[in-house]
Amino acid sequence: MSDDLRKIEVGEKILGFFVVRKIEQRVKEGQHYLSLEVGNSSGRINGTYWGDDAQELYKVLSQGSVVKIMGEGMEYG
């Protein structure tokens, strides 16, 4: 597992604390989700959160919030 954003590869597990740089709430096919840009001293990365509590998280998170993220590197687009 890594928190070095410069070295994340597809399929690699991500675990660490990151600062929210940007956050937007979006809806696709009736499901709310969050589009995020997070970062640390190694760089920045875009991500998506699809949890059932996305609307509640959006209310408490803002630019500058520190979050713990566990995920997996993926290529999109």
Q: Give the three-state DSSP class for 55.
A: helix
- The per-residue pLDDT for 6 is 83
| Tens digits of residue pLDDT in 17-71 | 999 999 999 999 999 999 999 999 999 999 999 999 999 999 999 999 999 999 8
Q: Where are the domains of the chain?
A: 17-68
Tokens of 73: 């590197």
- The per-residue pLDDT for 5 is 84
Residue that has been written with the tokens 């070295």 in this structure: 7
The structure's pTM equals 0.84
d(CA 16, CA 24): 21
| Tens digits of residue pLDDT in 5-23 | 888 889 999 899 999 999 9
